[in-house]
Amino acid sequence: MSKISEHYLYPKIEEWLDNVVGCQYTAVRKFLWDRQPDVVGVKLTGYRQVKMNLYLIEVKVIESLTTVYNVIGELEISLARFKKKSSVFSSLYPYIAVLENVKFKEIREYADNRNVGVIRIADDFSLVIEREPTPLTLNKALSKDHFKDHEWIIDEDEKKIFKDFIYRVGWWKIRERL
């Protein structure tokens, strides 16, 4: 397999979040919790008391054990920051998406131990879901009042994503759920 840069894989992950997962909002390299995860998606669920679920995917072309540990470290930072924050998001669905030039068991062991999802990017660039994550859940429900004013959101990066989400989805569509 020829060498490919991971950023060429981001659109495929975004497409999966849009069309398969049903996220209403996706973004690449968006600032979140003082870092830039590769791809994020937000999916609104429920009615009256809605929940904003965050899908966070770290994408890596795996060429050595170092790249395995790099992707694990990147995801661990996000998991820790989600747990520490009073987040606008109700749940976090963490994934690692890997194009493996070399296959390492450490990725699957880590995913099994930490309940992280694994997306394998095949040689033809199709996505194979090897493992679904167990979401980290804060059980935060949002009402109409939360969407009228975003000043209650503490984290500035989350506030920007929240505002982008409302802009892209449209207030009228969100209001139908409230």
The per-residue pLDDT for 173 is: 87
Contact indicator for 17, 39 with CB cutoff of 8 Å = yes
Q: For residue 98, count CB atoms less than 10 angstroms from its CB and return exposed for 0-12, middle for 13-18, buried for 19 or more.
A: buried
> Could you give the CA distance from residue 178 to residue 175 in angstroms, rounded to a whole number?
5
Residue 1's pLDDT band, with cuts at 50, 70 and 90, is very low
Q: State pLDDT tens for residues 100-153.
A: 877 778 888 989 999 999 999 998 999 999 999 999 998 888 988 888 888 888
Domains and CATH numbers, the chain: 6-168 (3.40.91)
What is the bridge-based pairing of β-strands 91-100 and 136-137?
A: antiparallel
**CA torsion angle for 45, 51, 52, 53 (degrees, to 10)?**
-70
Record the pTM.
0.91
